[in-house]
Structure 1
Amino acid sequence: MFLWVLLPIMVLAWCWNRRHLYRHSRKVPGPHGLPLLGNLFDFTGTPSEIYDKTTKYFETYPNLAKVWFGPKLVYGVSKPEYLEKIFSSLTSFDKEESYRKFGGAFLGDGLLTASLPTWKRHRKIILPIFNQKVLNSFVEIFAKHFQFLNDEMEKHVGREFDLYELLTRCTLDITCETIMGVEVGTQKGELFLFKWLDRILEITYLRQYSIWYHFDFMFKWTQLHKENLRLIGELNRFTEELINKKRVQVSTGCTPNRKSLLDLLLESSAEKLTTDEIKDEMQTFIIAASDTTAVTACFILVMLGMHPQIQNRVLEETNLILGPDGRLEYQDIPRFEYTSRVIKETVRLFPPGPYVARHIEADLPLEENLVLPKGASVLLGLIHVQRSTEFWKDPLKFDPDRFLPKEVEKIYPHSYVPFASGPRTCVGKKYALMSLTTMVATVVRKFKIGTEYKSVDEIKLKTNMVIRPQTGFKVWLELRK
């Protein structure tokens, strides 16, 4: 009897303590939900279904809207002025708690998931390592592995196939050699790390959208939990083995002439980062650099296959700079002006991370009488603002000339944020752009690319944290004469 009296009182007290959330949320539109459960069941299903439902939500409620994910208040934001305030404010600097709760299982306290104090300390140590001199030294590695990619792609000439596995194997090889300083032979079929990573990300994404999986005591009884533990165990063992090998190399002075990021990290911060912290950062780089770069590379090649005239212009620029057989050097990268515009237009239409989630640590005013309240979360719809008819003429048209110098000046501020913005922007942006430029220059000289896709609108998307087509990156290749 006492429990039945106490329970309503506890619920009322809980609601009273959250009254500021309810007060501010009433000023913002959003779908109706169930008491306590909110819109919990509106975002369930497969990764494709969840993505489609999220897209519909942003289309139905543009600029700013709210949704109750169980007891959690989440705002969907796609207005550039609001994005700018959220990206730049220390109030919303911290990642949404689900990043750490679910991503932390395999990323630990890496840059993607770390709390603000940890993130500041790690970034201060890591950022200087990403200097231009170090990045320039990686171009030779990029070129070597993309040349091997060409050899693998040649086996598929004359028939349609999905680019994803070949590109992911290649970018994993590149990431492990540049970040870890170790060759792992993924392209030779000796390692299936790319499959582990893809599945780990998918399980993490599904768990974020299922409230039942939020509770550890429920999730641990599922097959997903068992599979996730096994895959994370494989990933941890892989990373730890490479770090131990690298420590032996450093202690014995047997490091290669070209130093990896791990070499530099161990030398510069042996007393600053623990072994676990270094492992977390290495796994973060492996996942963030390999999958996002591979997916973007696939989208670039699909776009070139869809637009033969643009592909021909890229080939002409490549031949002008390198000739038909010239070797690409780091000094050549800035000369690929048109190719750079192709890459920028690709990530406008297909930002690798279409959504970014942040946590509101203190009330954040967006306008007069419009506040994001403390304790809420925000989901930033980068892909929606980058495809908005309000800020882009014919937004689903693939047009690299949007990024001509005279046109860049006209881009509405914060309507183009594929790598996020503000202090917590992507640390590996230059690394990715240099790698992608090398990939394009290597592939287009050997192959003419085609695809069954006829328009951007035809490419239905999904995400497992990183965006990709629902039906794969389907292309066909012809050898150039």
Structure 2
Amino acid sequence: MIVIVFSIIFLLLLIFQLVWWLVFSSKWSTEAINQLKQIPGPYEYPLFGNFFVLWGSRAEMWKSLRNCTKLYNGRYKLRMLHIVGINFAKPDDIEEILKSSTQLQKGFIYFLIKPWLQEGLLTSAGDYWRIRRKMLTPAFHFTILKQFANIFEENSKLAVRNLSKECDKLYTNVVEYINDYALHTLCDTTLGCKFESTSAEFSNYKKAIHKFGQIVVYRICRPWVFPDFLLNLSLLKFKVRQTIKTLRSFTSKIITSRLQTWDPNIVDNTTIETTSGRRLYSMLDLLILHMKTNGDIDYKGIQEEVDTFVFEGHDTTSVAIVNMLMLLANHTKVQDKILEELYSVVGEDISKISYTDLQSLKYLEMCIKETLRLYPSVPFIARTLTEPLELKDGLVLPKGLLCNVHIYDLHRDPEYWPEPEKFIPERFTDENCAKRHPFSYVPFSAGPRNCIGQKFAILQIKSIISNILLNYILEPIDTPESITLLCDLVMRTEKPIRVKFRKRIRNS
């Protein structure tokens, strides 16, 4: 009996191997396969490839990817079944991938996000993406951002007041506070609505985002749930559907609420009347305007973009703020320098920090950039080549190849960042930036598909950090050495980051 079972298993493996080889050889030409053989990587097992490198917990996966980058000097190959991915962490390679005006299709891994975000700006490609990008760009015009600065200030002061009760505690889990602040601020600005942080929808939405990220990472290295048709045969599909239902319920309520009150003739916090008579709209209002007047987007399209921006607009920003608070808590001299700059720019009346003030905080901006160097909110992005791509060293990457850009490793390359583990904001003086490779630092991606909301994010981070430091001294609980990083859709830590807040006493 045992012999029969093993014989059946062996026969099935042979069949799978034959099917795999037929799929693999039909996808790649002999020349392409020879090119791919030039790229090093971990040992490949027949049929399965070397995806076992990613096997284990999200923390173990994170460490494995970092080790591979070092072992193979920033360029290595990983294969799972017929899917081949080349991983890049050197600026010359990354420049060729990101600067291209034709290589705009996101990587295969983004298809795992599509059941949720569908054809939103993050996941769409081709003319569909170009139309949406052009449609949404005016929503982040500097005049709109200038108006948003008032909302940033209002919400930052509210967050500061909420933190006052934390001073009596040994430490504070800053993740919860900052997540609430970032989501509130996004809703108040780009979406034109308010939510109570105590509402069930608010809490469930935040939990669902974390759950969805865990599901995506789980699927990446498990062939039996990686393709959608296999996922739909598993029990995991019910968890995916419930999670997406929770996520969409939150954004659907936002859209419905705004549709009920939307009036194109009203000028408010999310609508700007310029001196030239041109009217600018924030994101959701702009999408509704297009639906009502031009008909070039429908409700489903609005849902796609709102889903995308609520996720990307609050989660990435909150991660950056949390990591910055940890770093500042561990660098009291940097806190002092930021405070000194704040007083020199804002003056003695610190009751309000204006848009012009925020723009003038150059040292604070260097601190934000250094935070995003050490902890890029999105540590990994990917492209699928729609045509062959030649790298600077002459290697030609074939059409259909998955190219993974590891921003985290790029930002810690000692060739471009001496003492890469250290927090040194002065790396971002104009003089130092001019000396570096332009693609050695890409926290918001780069090229045509760079982040549309990066100025929004920087302005918001400046606002909350300024207000916190004006009122509190940050003291370290967690350190860069004590935290454990995880693979996820954005930069996550195994445990929430903790900081001690102490009331700042101003000298009279």
TM-score (norm 2): 0.88
How far apart, CA to CA, are the structure 2 residues paired with 1:431 and 1:311?
Answer: 23
> What corresponds to 1:264 in structure 2?
286
> What corresponds to 2:426 in structure 1?
401
How far apart, CA to CA, are the structure 2 residues paired with 1:347 and 1:11?
Answer: 40
Given the alignment of the two structures, is residue 220 of structure 1 paired with residue 236 of structure 2, yes or no? Answer: no
User: Equivalent of 1:474, from 477, 486, 498?
Assistant: 498
User: Equivalent of 1:126, from 136, 147, 164?
Assistant: 136
SS in 1 for 2:79: strand
TM superposition shift of 1:267: 2.0
Contact 1:94-1:360 within 8 A present in 2 as well = yes
Q: How does 1:139-288 map to 2 (within 5 A)?
A: 139-157=149-167, 158-186=169-197, 191-192=202-203, 193-220=205-232, 222=234, 224-251=236-263, 256-259=268-271, 260-268=282-290, 270=292, 271-288=295-312
How far apart, CA to CA, are the structure 1 residues paired with 2:163 and 2:100?
Answer: 45
Larger deviation: 338-347 or 142-151?
142-151
SS in 1 for 2:129: helix
> What corresponds to 2:63 in structure 1?
52
User: Equivalent of 1:106, from 116, 128, 134?
Assistant: 116
| Alignment-mate amino acid for residue 470 of structure 2 | R
Given the alignment of the two structures, is residue 32 of structure 1 paired with residue 43 of structure 2, yes or no? Answer: yes
Contact 2:264-2:289 within 8 A present in 1 as well = no
Change (3 A) 1:369 1:166: same
SS in 2 for 1:186: coil
Contact 2:367-2:425 within 8 A present in 1 as well = yes
Contact 2:324-2:371 within 8 A present in 1 as well = yes
Change (3 A) 1:366 1:338: same
Deviations 1:258-301 (A, max 9, x none): 33321123224531111111111011000001000000001111
Change (3 A) 1:9 1:313: closer
How far apart, CA to CA, are the structure 1 residues paired with 2:66 and 2:263?
Answer: 51
Contact 1:169-1:187 within 8 A present in 2 as well = no
> What corresponds to 1:381 in structure 2?
406
How far apart, CA to CA, are the structure 1 residues paired with 2:159 and 2:207?
Answer: 18
Larger deviation: 317-326 or 216-225?
216-225
How far apart, CA to CA, are the structure 1 residues paired with 2:16 and 2:467?
Answer: 66
TM superposition shift of 1:13: 4.2
Deviations 1:110-142 (A, max 9, x none): 111112221111001111221000011111111
| Alignment-mate amino acid for residue 181 of structure 2 | C
| Alignment-mate amino acid for residue 94 of structure 2 | L
Contact 2:384-2:400 within 8 A present in 1 as well = yes
How far apart, CA to CA, are the structure 1 residues paired with 2:264 and 2:443?
Answer: 42
Deviations 1:373-403 (A, max 9, x none): 1121011111111111111111111111111
How far apart, CA to CA, are the structure 2 residues paired with 1:263 and 1:379?
Answer: 35
Larger deviation: 272-281 or 197-206?
197-206
How far apart, CA to CA, are the structure 1 residues paired with 2:48 and 2:221?
Answer: 13
Contact 1:76-1:378 within 8 A present in 2 as well = yes
SS in 2 for 1:409: helix
How far apart, CA to CA, are the structure 1 residues paired with 2:126 and 2:62?
Answer: 28
How far apart, CA to CA, are the structure 1 residues paired with 2:78 and 2:262?
Answer: 51
Identity between Structure 1 and Structure 2 (%): 26
Larger deviation: 277-286 or 139-148?
139-148
Contact 1:33-1:39 within 8 A present in 2 as well = yes
Contact 1:91-1:363 within 8 A present in 2 as well = no
Change (3 A) 1:64 1:257: closer
Deviations 1:353-377 (A, max 9, x none): 1111110112111145411111210
> What corresponds to 2:467 in structure 1?
442
How far apart, CA to CA, are the structure 2 residues paired with 1:69 and 1:294?
Answer: 33
User: Equivalent of 1:451, from 476, 488, 495?
Assistant: 476
SS in 1 for 2:502: strand
How far apart, CA to CA, are the structure 2 residues paired with 1:128 and 1:252?
Answer: 16
SS in 2 for 1:168: helix
How far apart, CA to CA, are the structure 2 residues paired with 1:234 and 1:190?
Answer: 8
> What corresponds to 1:364 in structure 2?
389
Deviations 1:48-96 (A, max 9, x none): 1221111111121123111112211110111111111000124532101
TM superposition shift of 1:25: 1.2
Q: How does 1:321-340 map to 2 (within 5 A)?
A: 321-322=345-346, 323=348, 325-340=350-365
Contact 2:24-2:82 within 8 A present in 1 as well = no
Contact 2:20-2:81 within 8 A present in 1 as well = no
How far apart, CA to CA, are the structure 2 residues paired with 1:393 and 1:180?
Answer: 41
Change (3 A) 1:190 1:144: farther
Contact 2:113-2:216 within 8 A present in 1 as well = yes
Gaps of 5+ in 1: none
> What corresponds to 1:61 in structure 2?
72
How far apart, CA to CA, are the structure 1 residues paired with 2:253 and 2:361?
Answer: 38
How far apart, CA to CA, are the structure 1 residues paired with 2:497 and 2:251?
Answer: 29
Aligned-residue Cα RMSD (Å) equals 2.3
How far apart, CA to CA, are the structure 2 residues paired with 1:222 and 1:412?
Answer: 46
> What corresponds to 2:318 in structure 1?
294
Contact 1:351-1:467 within 8 A present in 2 as well = yes
> What corresponds to 1:16 in structure 2?
25
How far apart, CA to CA, are the structure 2 residues paired with 1:257 and 1:68?
Answer: 50
User: Equivalent of 2:337, from 310, 313, 335?
Assistant: 313
TM superposition shift of 1:329: 1.3
* Number of residue-to-residue matches in the alignment: 477
How far apart, CA to CA, are the structure 2 residues paired with 1:437 and 1:387?
Answer: 24
TM-score (norm 1): 0.93
Gaps of 5+ in 2: 1-10, 272-281
